[in-house]
Structure 1
Amino acid sequence: MPKHLVFHLAVTTAGALIGLTAVSSTAEAAVPPLSHPRIVAHFDRPAGQVAESVVVRPNGSADVGFILSRQVAHVTLGGHVEVLATMPLPADGGVNTPGPGAAAVTGIERTGDGTLYFLYSAGDASLTGLWKLRPGGKPERVAALPAASFLNGLARDDRTGNFYLTDSTQGRVWQVGSHGGTAALWAAGEDLAPTHFFGANGVKVHNGAVWVSNLDRGTILRIPLTEKGTAGPHQVMASGLDSVDDFAFTGRGDQLLAALNVPSKVVLITPGKAGRIVLDESDGLQNTTALAVDGDTVYVASGALTTGGDANLLTAHLGHHD
């Protein structure tokens, strides 16, 4: 377990959840709290199986990226964990990886043909970048990123096929074409930069914009996609989110669920309304890292990085009635 990662998370995000706000010109009806939370898989935390990302397959099973064991894995409907690939360590063992000081598999996406795309940061120019894994195949790097990057969140624009990658230590958003190739710097700025540890973290493409969370600053930004595909003016859509990691939209406008890592909570954020805690430690969350929404089912990954407890994958129902 990389002690640097635990130390920074514990120290820089120890504040309480305060001042939670959402900004929007249009209010939306709040979705009722999540119901029927259930842990569907327990991961081998001592072996480094800390899920940092989750993507859902058409049959409801899931694929995850394990940050500490450098693995891409499949979680079956029965909760069985199948390791699909383990990434090689760099020559230095990963100690020069920016941020946590350990080589890490992070963001993950899936295309219709079953190909998985994921991020690997190793402090090594020959390994750091966007990788793909075809069904039954071996990992193949499709875009190189600077060794000084800690790549974290990954999102794909379904309209163009372009990928958007967050760099948490450099405070940047990179863009990679649908078939890989050269990565282009797409967005940067103070609001994406870290203050102590990690800046730009989770990322989603939604309603004509790229949305990005900033862990240190406790914010979620909306960055419009212009007609030319460039980044428009950044807008803070939510703030006061203690150690916000990943987030996912509920499918109801700009309403979203945000994973708060150190508090081990999931917060429902409806534009124009106060944030609402809908899952917490009592439901089995321990250092919430990743979220995915598939219809009325919400998938929540817990890493147990600072709690040292149960790393798991939980599902809950996104209901229509209280």
Structure 2
Amino acid sequence: MSRVPRLSAVALAAALVLLVGGPASAGEPTVSDPRVVAPFDFAAGQTPENIALEPDGSADLTFAFARQVARVTREGATTVLATLPEVADPQTPGLGAAIVTGIARAHDGTLYVNYATGTAENGIWRLAPGGGAPEQIVALPSDALPNGLALDEECETLYVADSARGLVWSVPLDTRTPAVWASGAALEPTAAIAFGANGLKVHHGAVWVSNTARSTLLRIPIGEDRAAGPIETRATGLTTIDDFGFTGHGDTVLAALVMEGRLELVRPDGTHRTVLTAADGLDNPTSVAVRAKTVYVPSAAYFTPVKDPNLLLARISKNKL
């Protein structure tokens, strides 16, 4: 999640960072046939911030400023599943507005979402598979900004990227007690940009985290005792990186560069190249999901003059050259 009032600071940081590029390599994924399947209403707060996928290929999206969770079919039909309760005087760090951010889906259909408010409502909320009112299950400190969210069902633990404090929380579902799982300078924001740890995924025995302020993609091994291992920097130069997704079982990543308006393919060696741009329909992309041969990219239109939030789908396939 990136803050609109800090546009100038983010733009300055973007100008100072050199992106690592290069042509497609044989055998690596290619992205083609982009098409916008669902436009959204920016004025109504329908700014899609994060995404989780349903078994039928529908996308569950968080609409940050509408405080909503919505489901969008592959054909673009949109249904609001829940609206988080209004907060009288939100004190969200760096924002001042209540926003719904990360989302994760359990196999039974339960949805978990982060609600950043700076008040007692700050934390993780649950939506039951059968519907009903959302329920807060974890409270986080008021100065935390919960952003990226992932569920490790093997050990029944939620992981949360805290953009304001610059750390990762772990929350066992049996106790629902949050604890600082990983911290350090690599996760923290900077003086210029107030958003540090942002996107988060659990992948191959590690928690992967993006840091918007530092333009980096990080990997944190999960030890046998479930403790965090040393933080590894896997890629740099990812200017204004928001959330990201893996293309498959390997460590190749598709990263949403929100201010840059680009989708970047990040190779396991850390080099990267642009695969989609605003010309393809992106408008401040915020997150990524991949299912089989389809890439999903929500755009929130936070910073562009023409407000065109949307959900874009594209085809992902192996390069046969």
Please state how far the C-alpha of 1:128 moved relative to its aligned partner. 0.7
CA contact (8 A) 2:209 2:218 kept: yes
- Alpha-carbon spacing, 1:41–1:321, altered in 2? closer, same or farther (3 Å): same
1-side partners of 2:75 and 2:26: how far apart? 34
* Pair 1:209 & 2:203 matched: no
The equivalent of 1:107 in structure 2 is 102
CA contact (8 A) 1:10 1:262 kept: no
* Pair 1:148 & 2:148 matched: no
The equivalent of 1:136 in structure 2 is 131
1-side partners of 2:96 and 2:77: how far apart? 30
* Pair 1:167 & 2:165 matched: no
TM-score by length of structure 2 reads 0.92
Identify which range, 28-37 or 159-168, moves more after superposition.
Answer: 28-37
2:63 to 38, 61, 66: 66
Unaligned regions of 5+ residues in structure 1, if any? 23-27
**Alignment size in residue pairs:** 311
CA contact (8 A) 2:236 2:270 kept: no
2:182 to 167, 184, 187: 187
TM-score by length of structure 1 reads 0.92
CA contact (8 A) 1:42 1:310 kept: yes
Please state how far the C-alpha of 1:305 moved relative to its aligned partner. 0.2
1:312 to 310, 313, 321: 310
The equivalent of 1:292 in structure 2 is 289
Unaligned regions of 5+ residues in structure 2, if any? none
* 3-state secondary structure, aligned to 1:313: strand
- Alpha-carbon spacing, 1:29–1:161, altered in 2? closer, same or farther (3 Å): farther
Moved over 6 A (4+): none
CA contact (8 A) 2:100 2:114 kept: yes
Residues 119-173 of structure 1, C-alpha deviations (whole Å, 9 max, x = no match): 0011102x01111101322101111111111110001113212110011011010
Please state how far the C-alpha of 1:270 moved relative to its aligned partner. 0.8
Please state how far the C-alpha of 1:276 moved relative to its aligned partner. 1.1
Please state how far the C-alpha of 1:106 moved relative to its aligned partner. 0.4
Please state how far the C-alpha of 1:180 moved relative to its aligned partner. 5.6
2-side partners of 1:274 and 1:321: how far apart? 17
* Pair 1:77 & 2:71 matched: no
The equivalences for 1:1-322 within 5 A come to 5-14=3-12, 15-16=14-15, 18-20=17-19, 30-92=27-89, 94=90, 96-125=91-120, 127-134=121-128, 135-179=130-174, 181-195=176-190, 196-272=193-269, 274-308=271-305, 309-321=307-319
Residues 81-120 of structure 1, C-alpha deviations (whole Å, 9 max, x = no match): 211111122221x2x2112211000000111111111000
RMSD between aligned residues: 1.8
CA contact (8 A) 2:117 2:142 kept: yes
- Alpha-carbon spacing, 1:29–1:146, altered in 2? closer, same or farther (3 Å): farther
